[in-house]
Amino acid sequence: MTLEKLPFTRPTLDEATIASVAATLRSGWLASGPRVQELEAALSQYLGGRPVRTMTSATAALEIALYVAKVGPGDEVITTPISWCATANVILRLGAKPVFVDVDLDSRNLLLEQVEAKISARTRAILPVHFSGLPIAMDQLYALAQKHGVRVIEDAAHAIGSAWHDKRIGSFGDLVCFSFHPNKNMTTGEGGAIVATAPDEIRTIEAYRFNGVVKPAPGELDVLFPGIKANMSDIQASIGLGQLARLDEFNARRRELAARYYQLWQHSCPLRLPARGDTGHSWHMFAPLLPRETAGMTRLEFIRQMDARGISVGIHYPAIHLLTAYRQLGWRDGQFPNAERIGRETLTLPLFPAMRDEDVDRVVNATNEILGR
């Protein structure tokens, strides 16, 4: 019997959400409108009442957050070399310099003791990633930022529904950016959002996502600065409303699936498992390492053998500073040992709410078989 192909992730879209999208299409209002306003209000309520503004992507959200924080040419932003490349790309796009700091090998989060050593007179912001939904040590992060008078822009692309000491990521802090890409814990097809507090910064966010346009009065229009086109559509928002209503359910199932991986590998595991976290970990993905010294094969060969068994495996992520665009700017091998090891050895195993317990068993059994355990 041929088993169904098991992807490493897949969104869950129910019939009510599909019907809602169809109703939006029939309404004739497809761009930003009432459904976007409804989603922003619902996200705000989910995050304790803080204002939320939606975007077409988390990349756009990060760029706008950097602009709001007045990051520009000559400035430095301390960030991680283990993330999707957009985390660093947006810093370069605004003319600033990403200053990379190594990460913990198991949590993949920034080593904050190294962050402080990199703060200089040019540092404008710290941009951490809550990797796979595991929050960075927020108390330590914000104490450090306050001590040195720098902004914090949280790349919370993985962390919608995550919590630090029972407080949801985004319900507190400085500027917080979420992703609603199809592989995230909730999706709008493509999309993102910024959480902010200061009224003047919210107005800047609203203008930036719509080409810098403001409308002082009916029939009047002005452009304050050259923004981008990044406003979410009502079609996307219709998907997001259905997803947000089930987000806690989705995240609870993700935690159950992650727990099963740990249970099955509690006595012997051929992989180096990621840091587990507590109930505040929303488990965007499950990404252990394949140790090169003991695996007996390359990562590519492991991925091919899993694929032959009908199991998809991803790679999240290669180390940013070793990508061509960053090597050309002077970064090189050996600067961030943990990040480089993660980039060489990381595997993203299947984890999504529609998975069954027996799907986890299948992944674990296949891994053990391939690696001779």
Same domain, residue pair 202 and 288:
no
Same domain, residue pair 274 and 318:
yes
Pairing of strands 151-155, 175-179: parallel
CATH number of the domain to which 106 belongs: 3.40.640.10
Instruction: Check residue 2 and give its pLDDT.
Output: 66
Q: Give the domain-ending residue among 211, 245, 279.
A: 245
Q: Per residue in 151-175, pLDDT tens?
A: 999 999 999 999 999 999 999 999 9
36 and 232 Cβ atoms separated by less than 8 Å:
yes
Same domain, residue pair 280 and 324:
yes
Same domain, residue pair 180 and 266:
no
**pLDDT band at 10; cut points 50, 70, 90:** very high
Q: Which domain holds residue 305?
A: 247-370
Query: Is 9 domain-assigned?
Result: no
* Whether the predicted pLDDT of 117 surpasses 60: yes
User: What is the overall mean pLDDT for the chain?
Assistant: 97
184 part of the active site:
yes
Give the active site residue among 70, 118, 167, 184. Answer: 184
Instruction: Check residue 1 and give its pLDDT.
Output: 56
Q: Per residue in 194-229, pLDDT tens?
A: 999 999 999 999 999 999 999 989 999 999 999 999
Query: Is 110 domain-assigned?
Result: yes
pTM above 0.95, yes or no: yes
CATH number of the domain to which 270 belongs: 3.90.1150.10
Query: Is 3 domain-assigned?
Result: no
Query: Is 192 domain-assigned?
Result: yes
Query: Is 103 domain-assigned?
Result: yes
Same domain, residue pair 239 and 281:
no
Same domain, residue pair 187 and 49:
yes
Same domain, residue pair 192 and 78:
yes
Query: Is 6 domain-assigned?
Result: no
Same domain, residue pair 82 and 139:
yes
Same domain, residue pair 205 and 257:
no
